[in-house]
Amino acid sequence: MSGEAHQGPGASERNGPVQELPDAEAVLATLNRIIASPEFDATDRNKRFLSYVVTETLNGRGDRIKAYTIATEVFGREASFDAHGDPIVRVEAGQLRRALAGYYVSAGRNEAVEISIPKGGYAPVFLSREVAAPTPIPKLTIPAAPERTIRRAAIPIGVALAVFVGAGLGYGLWSGRAMPSRPDIPRILVQPFEDLTQSGNSARLASGLTQEIIGQISKFRDIVVIAADAEGRPLSDALGVLPVQDSPRYNLSGSLELDGSTLRLQTQLVSRSDGAVLWANKYAGDLSVSSVTGIKSEIADQVATALAQPYGVIFREDAARQMVSPPEDWTAYACTLGYYAYRLTFDASTHAEIRSCLEDAVERFPTYATAWGLLSLMYIDELRYRFPPESANGPSSIEKAKLAARKAVSLDPSNIRGLEAEMFALYFSGEKDAAIQVGKAALEINPNDTELMGEYGYRLALSGDWKAGCALVDEARKRQPGPAGAYEAALALCAYQLNDYATAATWIRKYPMTDNPQYHAIAAIIFAELGDPQVTSEVDWLRLHAPQYFKDARAEIAYRIGRKEDVDRILVSLEKAGIPAPNQ
């Protein structure tokens, strides 16, 4: 697939003179950035639509892209679907065209590849675009007291990754400035929620809901929550939460109203630098059928999940920040943002950059528990995705992962990234039962962290508890605001486990992870069971990029799967695909 030019039907007529066309890898990279971008104003259904038509075209099946196949394979319509009586595909295509047009005039204005779906059909067209070269990061002479210039910009996470890593490795972490004591993680000031009713127990409800939300957001250890007094001023001095010179970046406020048995809450998150409203939402609860405690807990969970989880509102806002001459405390935090950008695709080409950035961050900030946890996960990826380690000498990847995870947990026993890293380190050391216990305890600490929920759920499923584990993965996918490629690959394996190969194929095609060996292995066993000819390209990819499957497939599978019967079943499917199964 690599190196070939691809275009949908009608491209040559549209373009006139012969034009250089992008190769498949460039198209897939662009697809991933589009789906990942907050500026791609599309529904999940639109995103599935786009992923399907692009991957079908790249795999030489563009002639299959019809309203019927989209409706049945993407939207789940019955085999009796009639495009004349049900306009769903036509309507969704119109929305998708508008979303693509909006992306290319905002976040995608510098994309080198344009993906479009011309009217009159549903097959995409891929074109190379001439874009302005990005401005290189200059070498700066740092003044004694630099001023920070900050502006908000609608940039995709992938671009933010390049900016953050370049800034951190280029000069931020190793400049000669005085070293701050900790990273510049986001700080949010939570105002007491306004009581609009002012009767009965409304004041107590407003106060209780404020405290409940503070407690839930505080479980996300990469956000500092600052309580405010009755006048809205930080309680930093009195409570010792934060030195007074550390100003909050964000302000969360809300108002509560009681209307009979209905409780209504309106909330908004504001940037304190310019007063811009970054997020607002409304919540309601029926006090006649639910307890006050239950309603407060449910609302607080929803607010905390929306704002504070990886890929949530605060993450997206910080990922869009641009700085001239970023200070060391910002670049250390930016390394963690870079990790989450990398995690969208587990791209091999950026693994070494993020690992190096995090290694520098923990050297400069040795008490930064989250960075230690994420660094441990980067070492784990050297094992599970066979990414090359920094050096063949010294401790092994698993030993480095264990040490970094222990460091994270020792610094902050409630840090979810540290506990997640400990779970992975135990799991890939062969201590799967102990890993599951750590994951369970971590999810009890913060049940609103969807990244942990998905990863713990997947480990639980792979260990043999498919029902409970797959349910958690599906819940994480539904609550996760960012792209869900890893979750969808996991759900593909869950459907395979249930012998539902058609659903498994739908999941695995939704979000291609082109550099991920496990993605291709899962795709291979599913397509083998379906008799789908795409199995050939998956096996060819594994032969070239993951030869370990051909050397000892049993060891490779057993490294990840807990029960022997599950390993044996996958080996049978791999053998159908053309990958020889070793002896028992």
The angle formed by the CA atoms of residues 340, 345 and 348, to the nearest 5 degrees, is 100
Residue 132 has pLDDT above 70, yes or no: no
Cα–Cα dist 256/396, whole Å: 54
Confidence class of residue 148 from pLDDT cuts 50, 70 and 90? very low
Taking alpha carbons only, the member of 401, 318, 331, 414 closest to residue 365 is 331
- Name residues whose C-beta falls within 8 Å of residue 31's C-beta, 6 or more positions apart in sequence: 50, 51, 54, 115, 512
Cα–Cα dist 36/107, whole Å: 11
The number of residues making up the chain comes to: 584
Taking alpha carbons only, the member of 354, 416, 419 closest to residue 385 is 354
Q: 221 near 412, Cβ under 8 Å?
A: yes
Give the domain ranges of the chain.
Answer: 11-128, 187-315, 456-584
Residue 316 has pLDDT above 70, yes or no: yes
- Name residues whose C-beta falls within 8 Å of residue 340's C-beta, 6 or more positions apart in sequence: 157, 310, 311, 315, 482
| Burial class for 297, CB neighbours closer than 10 Å (0-12, 13-18, 19+) | middle
Q: Which of 430-444, 479-493, 519-533, 554-568 has the lowest mean pLDDT?
A: 479-493
Which pLDDT belongs to residue 483? 58
Which pLDDT belongs to residue 60? 86
Cα–Cα dist 455/452, whole Å: 5
Q: 364 near 214, Cβ under 8 Å?
A: no
The CA dihedral of 43, 47, 53, 55, to the nearest 10 degrees, is: -170
Residue 44 has pLDDT above 90, yes or no: no
| Burial class for 246, CB neighbours closer than 10 Å (0-12, 13-18, 19+) | middle
Residue 160 has pLDDT above 70, yes or no: no
Beta bridge partners of residue 266, listed in sequence order:
255, 282
Q: What superfamily in CATH does domain 456-584 come from?
A: Tetratricopeptide repeat domain (1.25.40.10)
For 387, the token pair is: 């990414």
**CA distances in angstroms from 179 to 148, 166, 173, 175, 241, listed in the order given:** 16, 19, 9, 9, 21
**CA distances in angstroms from 443 to 112, 296, 371, 484, listed in the order given:** 41, 20, 19, 19
Residue 467 has pLDDT above 90, yes or no: yes
Residue in the block written with tokens 């969807």: 450
Residue 99 has pLDDT above 50, yes or no: yes
Rounded average pLDDT over 183-210: 92
Task: Give the H/E segment covering residue 113.
Answer: strand 113-116
One-character DSSP codes across 352-363: HHHHHHHHHHHH
Q: 338 near 321, Cβ under 8 Å?
A: no
Which pLDDT belongs to residue 322? 64
- Output DSSP code: residue 228: B
pTM for this prediction:
0.69
Which pLDDT belongs to residue 485? 61
Q: What is the CA radius of gyration of the chain?
A: 25
Q: Which of 132-146, 161-175, 392-406, 424-438 has the lowest mean pLDDT?
A: 132-146
**Which overall architecture, per CATH, does domain 187-315 show?**
2-Layer Sandwich (3.30)
Residue 510 has pLDDT above 90, yes or no: no
One-character DSSP codes across 514-573: TT-HHHHHHHHHHHHHHT-TTHHHHHHHHHHH-THHHH-HHHHHHTT---HHHHHHHHHH
The residue ranges of DSSP E strands in 310-359, in sequence order, are 321-324
- Select the highest-mean-pLDDT range: 21-30, 31-40, 124-133, 264-273: 264-273
Cα–Cα dist 339/357, whole Å: 9
Question: Are domains 187-315 and 456-584 of this chain identical in fold?
Answer: no
Confidence class of residue 41 from pLDDT cuts 50, 70 and 90? confident
Residue 18 has pLDDT above 70, yes or no: no
Rounded average pLDDT over 482-505: 88
Confidence class of residue 92 from pLDDT cuts 50, 70 and 90? confident
Q: 64 near 56, Cβ under 8 Å?
A: yes
Taking alpha carbons only, the member of 581, 577, 486 closest to residue 530 is 577
